[in-house]
Amino acid sequence: MSSQTVVVVGSSVGGVRAAQALRREGFAGRIVLVGEESAEPYDKPPLSKQYLAGEWALDRLALLTPEATAAADLELRLGVAAVRLDVAASQVVLADGTTLDYDHVVIATGATARPSPWHAGSGVHVIRTLADVDGLRADLAAGGPVVVVGGGVIGAEAAATIRTLGHEVVMVDPLATPLARLVGPEVGRPLEELHRRRGVDTRFGVGVEGIDGSAGNLTVRLTDGAVLSAATVLVGIGAVPNDAWLADSGLLIDNGVVCDRYCRAVDSDRVWAVGDVARWQDPRYPAEVRVEHWTNAVEQGAAVAHNIVHADDLQPYSPLEYVWSDQYDWKLQIVGHAARGGRFEVVGDLSVDPAKGAVLYSDDDGLLTGVVAVNWPKPLVTGRRALNAGAADFEEFVAQMRALFAKVSAPAAP
């Protein structure tokens, strides 16, 4: 394959790690990494935390060192978006009018923050890119109260960061508790309490009806009739896949690039997708799924690289969901399924400061389905292994975790 070219479109974590994985798998041809933003490839999780707080400069977010770029022999084309995919001609068309011929193309264009449906004059922000956060920080620097719309990962992390910066913060979400799409109220309630102890005014179970005004002087109207004043508003209400540039490609696009179980577009065996933009047929589920987690982008990049290099050994991609979130001194780690109701057991205590513990989830058959760990990685990694091995007995796992907790929480021997 030394005369072949793989074009990777998208320079965030999925694209970068897919490109590096191609080399690890032994691909000897040309690898071109195309990125719309002109900044060197950067990692996104710190955007709502250390970068928003001003603790980390941009260089701490780098996904590639110059040594890593050289080691993987990557050709970077940054600051120019891909605007079209010509599947018949095997060509990626770039915004500057140039084209890249490919033998394989990896689509890793990610997702974009769902735009605010409420249109104020200015001062309403989202978090997805460096430019988004630079704009938010500029408005925050003027001071004043902040309303955060959305209690998901981005909203709750940003609320914690902005509160820690000293702003008055109100967090609003129509769901009952924070991170409600990921974890049940047994985790969400203590997390909401943590926000309240730190001084955030939380309004869960309440929606936003409208936002008026402009930066420094905004009004947020809620569905319960409350009216909030804010200097700045942050809207964190999810993300939509960046697939519009593929609209005329002939590929099946439906909430992402629709792929087979090998993460290969259903209509071309030389088009692959990775990360937030990929909707693939995970063999475990009846319909295609799209996952917006960091580790999924990395693992899917590795899976696609394997399948490109080893066409005679295609591997279906079926990862175990893993996501984490950092809020104040909570390091929250979630593996498997933790929001589907059913049975759960709490080990340790999430309602104390500092919290340390885990919530373990079971299905009706008495098998482990998921783990949420707070400030205690052990149950997470042990649970992940048990879930990967399959059919882990819930009672046994609970007993094992209680024993481990007793060990790490016991006072040190004199």
Partner 1 sequence: MKVQIDSKLCQGHGRCYDLAPDLFGEDDEGYATLTALTADGNVPEGREGDTRLAAANCPESAVLVFEEALK
408 binds partner 1 per the rule CB under 8 A: yes
402 contributes a contact to partner 1 by CB under 8 A: no
Residue 58 binds partner 1, judged by CB under 8 A: no
Total residues in contact with partner 1, by rule CB under 8 A: 31
DSSP state of 192: H
Of 12, 20, 177, 249, the one binding partner 1 (CB under 8 A) is 20
Instruction: Classify 336 as helix, strand or coil.
Output: strand
How many helices (H) and strands (E) the chain has is answered by 9, 25
Residues 6 or more apart whose CB falls under 8 angstroms from that of 54 comprise 137, 165
> x/- binding map, residues 317-356, to partner 1, per CB under 8 A?
-----x-x-x----x-x-----------------------
Asked whether position 384 contacts partner 1 by CB under 8 A, the answer is yes
Contact flag: residue 75 with partner 1 (CB under 8 A):
no
Determine if 141 is a binding residue for partner 1 (CB under 8 A): no
Using rule CB under 8 A, residue 310 touches partner 1: no
Q: Are residues 318 and 303 in contact, defined by beta-carbon separation less than 8 angstroms?
A: no
CB of 249 to partner 1, least distance (A): 29
Which tokens is 136 given?
Answer: 């938010």
Contact partners, residue 390, CB within 8 Å, separation at least 6: none
Q: Does 298 bind partner 1 (CB under 8 A)?
A: yes
Binding segment for partner 1 among 19-27, 214-222, 246-254, 311-319 (CB under 8 A)?
A: 19-27
Under rule CB under 8 A, residue 24 binds partner 1: yes
How far, in Å, CA of 104 to CA of 380, rounded? 36
Exactly one of 9, 21, 257, 309 binds partner 1 (CB under 8 A); which one?
Answer: 21
- 288 near 316, Cβ under 8 Å? no
How remote is the C-alpha of 381 from its chain's centroid? 19
- How does strand 322-327 pair with strand 330-336? antiparallel
H-helix or E-strand containing 104? strand 104-107
Footprint of partner 1 on this chain (CB under 8 A)? 17, 20-21, 24, 43, 45, 67-68, 70-71, 294-295, 298-299, 302, 322, 324, 326, 331, 333, 376-382, 384-385, 407-408
